Amino acid sequence: MNNPQVIKIGGSLLRSSKSYVESAQNIKKFIEEKETTPIVVVSAMKGATDLLIKVAENNDKHALKTFIENYLNVASELDNYSLLERVKYLLDKLVKVSEGNVNDLKRFDLILSFGEKISKLILTSALENEGIKACSLDADELIITNDKHGDAEIDLGMSKSNVVVMKELISEGILPVIEGFIGRSYSGEITTLGRGGSDYTASSISHMLNASHLYLITDTPGIYSSDPNLISNVKLVKELDYQEALEASLFSIKRINPKTFLPLLNSNTEVHIGLWNNFNTTVRNSTSVSKDQKVKVIGYKNEGGGEDNIKIGIVGREAPKDSEVIKRVIETLASDGIDYNEIYINKNRPSISIAVSKDIFVKALSSLHNSLIEVR
Amino acid sequence: MFDAPNTKIKNIDIAIVGFGNVGRSLAKLIVYKRQVLEDKFNLRINVKAIFDSKGAVVKEEGFSNYELLKLTEIPRSKISEFENGLRGASLKEIYDKIKPNIHVELTPSNYIDGEPSTSNILTALNLDCNVVTATKSPLVLHYDEIFSLTKKKGLKVKFRGTVMGGTPFIDLLMSLKSYEIIKVEGILNATTNFILSTMYEKLISYEQALAEAKAIGVAEADPSIDIKGIDAAAKLIIIGRLLGKRISLDKVERDDISKLTLNDIINSIKENRVIKYIATIDESSASVKLRSLEKSDPLANINGTTNAVRIVTDSGDLFFVGKGGGGMETAHSVLDDIISIGVSS
């Protein structure tokens, strides 16, 4: 049997019943074109997790009401009685849990898990409406994590024997749909994997089942060279290796959870990031990534300690090794009159990082981007 | 160690009766473990029928992985609405047709008359089916009847899922053949232990702790079976049977934990002690009581939904700790019972 392929559907794509139907149609097209049954990992509907955080943190009744209405609307519009019953069953459970009103990380994770769980049922039902044999699998049974609630790590060794069932199902032509973002701790409780955790679920499953391709489907055509909200002339990044992608995610590029790329280091899974019909970014093994482009991404992160410091990261495997790049970074900062507090040329990681004060970081980001990426 | 290459696959046909939490977990577990069971034990488990409170679905050649997973997606008590589902089907009629090797009883316990589980089990035995049950009430109320029929028919009844459902405690106890067991005592109910440990951890009242337990699904909407000690007493009766003792439910002395106040908890902390809800069975009596334990007692340190048992024997104490229940955990015990009948029959 060929190695499996994994598709992860991001929440940014799931906004209405129509978008679930479209996702199902796109999966159907994928099956027909690639002649293979994929494994599908699904996120919660757009905005659902934010509402649940309000429910969990402040017992926000309005947020709960909105969450319930959003999902009930989608489920009703799909016009499937059994789906609606099951969505209602989960929503009833959520209401009961929310009444507990206890501040506790376990309860927090339990509440947050409902967004993905319901989304999975809806997508499975939409797939069946398209005539695909699809089944919902439960991440809180199959994905085993440590006990770190809110930011759990997947135990790949322990989960592997559980997720093998997906391979059996696809060999029978059954499409497994599993929710991302959640897992089950060693002590049997529901855990969540942190923001953007569905990508991490998908990459972990890809690792465990030795997938040939992982498609992270989102609402942008790929990874941009910097934050498009701050930089107007961003470029799409064509290729990254896993280490570079990990580094870029640490500098908050596309809000990908940094844990996503950890299971893939040393793997052979090709990761494609983009829209259904347009995957511009590929992440693959470093041996098959061209070395021509020295700087690929310029991101940033808030530094833990100093509140007023922002760390800008210039990401690219060759960047910290190349004296031309380093020279250009220093010259750019000097010629544009940008004061920096620290420059760090990392020999073990694919980045150069520069600490600048918060009030000038956008200018610094823009100068460096123009100099290193725009004008090459 | 498990490999037995080129052995013919043995088919075990089962019917699942009761399709709530444990039943659904079992259906999924059979899918998850299908390949492993074939590779390691040369066993293929065919689920030929599933019953819920309103009806049944039957498939003579056994449900496929896809169908089993789809069945777990059906809303509660709606199984008869599945393709070819039957409303109000009779066990006997269906068993006459599909002739399962094992009847799996997973209906809720009923301590008033033990129904429908007792009749289900007796019907199955009369039709020459082995039985695996996670339902306690038939064993609590009709043990003699069930086991005399089992013996007469030369069949097996297994019930690992009934006590400390997430562990092989029952099997362990049955294996202690050369020991004299003087006393068995422990924490046998997950809900009440969760409530008690939450009261200690957060210094809140019984009512608040119960509300928390309900919120995270540890307590049922009506928790009286747990808080009145009926569930733990039922488990003691089953343990008693394995020790050759015959006790009836009304002979088990029980405390109601709802009478416990936050003051009781605070006083016990001052005295460096811990109150636990302890089920005990010895030569002369059985009880489920609130007991104040020394902090150093291992049972005093069992918290949350964990269960623990101390077996006092003529050759020293044995201490056993593990998961109480939960759908998937109990399903594992049920599946192990099915496998054990499967490999030996």
Residue A38's domain is classified under what CATH number?
A: 3.40.1160.10
Rounded Cα–Cα distance for residues B24 and B68 (Å): 9
Do A9 and A148 sit in the same domain of this protein? yes
Q: How confident is the model at residue B8 (pLDDT cuts 50, 70, 90)?
A: confident
Which residue type is seen at B223? P
- Whose CA is closest to A260, among A68, A41, A44? A41
Residue of B63, B70, B195, B321 to mutate, testing the A interface (most A Cβ within 10 Å of its Cβ): B70
Chain A: give the shortest CA distance to residue B137, in Å: 27
Domain end call among A204, A219, A234: A219
Question: Is residue B155 a part of any domain in this protein?
Answer: yes
Question: Is residue A259 a part of any domain in this protein?
Answer: no
Q: How confident is the model at residue A376 (pLDDT cuts 50, 70, 90)?
A: very low
Which residues of B are designated catalytic? 235
Q: Which residues in chain B touch residue A86, judged by CB atoms under 8 angstroms apart?
A: 73, 75
Q: What angle do CA A315, A321, A324 make, to 5 degrees?
A: 90
Do you find a cis peptide bond into B100, omega within 30 degrees of 0? Answer: no
DSSP B286-305: EEEEEEEEETTSGGGG--TT
3-state DSSP percent of chain B in helix, strand and coil, to 5: 45, 20, 35
Do A201 and A343 sit in the same domain of this protein? no
Whether residue B28 and residue A136 make contact (CB cut-off 8 A), yes or no, is no
Tokens of B24: 């659904």
Do B46 and B186 sit in the same domain of this protein? no
Tell me the CATH number at A314.
Answer: 3.30.70.260
Do B235 and B248 sit in the same domain of this protein? yes
Domain housing A18 = 5-219
Do B153 and B211 sit in the same domain of this protein? no
- Whose CA is closest to A184, among A158, A216, A210? A158
pLDDT for the residue numbered A1: 61
Do B17 and B138 sit in the same domain of this protein? yes
Q: Which residue of B has its CA nearest to A190?
A: B216
pLDDT for the residue numbered A374: 56
Buried b (16+ CB within 10 A) or exposed e, B199-229: bbeeebebebbbbbbbbbebbeeebebbbbb
- Phi-psi group of B108: left, alpha or beta (phi > 0 → left; psi -120 to 50 → alpha; rest → beta): beta
Do B242 and B315 sit in the same domain of this protein? yes
Do B14 and B162 sit in the same domain of this protein? yes
Domain housing B251 = 170-323
Tokens of B322: 């593990």
ipTM above 0.90? no
Q: Which residue of B has its CA nearest to A97?
A: B215
Question: Is residue B2 a part of any domain in this protein?
Answer: no
Whether B3 has a pLDDT exceeding 70, the answer reads no
Rounded Cα–Cα distance for residues B49 and B37 (Å): 20
Residue B322: how many CA atoms within 13 Å on its side-chain side?
19
Residue with tokens 């129509």: A18
Rounded Cα–Cα distance for residues B53 and B56 (Å): 8
CA dist A282 → A161, A185, A247, A373 (Å)? 29, 32, 15, 18
Instruction: Quick: pLDDT tens for A202-230.
Output: 999 999 999 999 999 999 999 999 999 99
Domain end call among A190, A219, A248: A219
What residues of chain B have any CB closer than 8 angstroms to a CB in chain A? 25, 28, 31-32, 34-36, 64-66, 69-70, 73-76, 78, 81, 211-212, 214-217, 304-305, 323, 326, 328-329
- Whose CA is closest to B24, among B63, B61, B76? B76
Paired with B136 in beta bridges are none
Domain end call among A169, A189, A219: A219
Do B59 and B20 sit in the same domain of this protein? yes
Q: Count of domains in chain A?
A: 2
Q: Count of domains in chain B?
A: 2
- Of the listed ranges A197-206, A296-305, A331-340, A343-352, the least confidently predicted one is A296-305
Q: Which residues in chain A touch residue B36, judged by CB atoms under 8 angstroms apart?
A: 161
Do A59 and A154 sit in the same domain of this protein? yes
Do A59 and A153 sit in the same domain of this protein? yes
The stretch A312-339 carries a mean pLDDT of 92
Q: How confident is the model at residue A308 (pLDDT cuts 50, 70, 90)?
A: confident
Tell me the CATH number at B199.
Answer: 3.30.360.10
Do A313 and A212 sit in the same domain of this protein? no
Paired with A8 in beta bridges are A41, A216
Rounded Cα–Cα distance for residues A231 and A370 (Å): 9
Q: Which residue of A has its CA nearest to B70?
A: A135
**Residue A61 dihedral angles phi and psi, to the nearest 5°:** -65, -35
Question: Is residue B1 a part of any domain in this protein?
Answer: no
A84 to chain B, any CB pair closer than 8 A? The answer is: no
Q: Which residue of B has its CA nearest to A165?
A: B32
Angle (deg, nearest 10), helices B206-215 and B190-202: 120
A337 to chain B, any CB pair closer than 8 A? The answer is: no
Question: Is residue A94 a part of any domain in this protein?
Answer: yes
Do A182 and A304 sit in the same domain of this protein? no
Question: Is residue A67 a part of any domain in this protein?
Answer: yes
Whether residue B66 and residue A169 make contact (CB cut-off 8 A), yes or no, is yes
Paired with A39 in beta bridges are A6
Question: Is residue B3 a part of any domain in this protein?
Answer: no
Chain A: give the shortest CA distance to residue B66, in Å: 7
First to last CA, chain A: 44
How many percent of chain A have pLDDT more than 70?
97
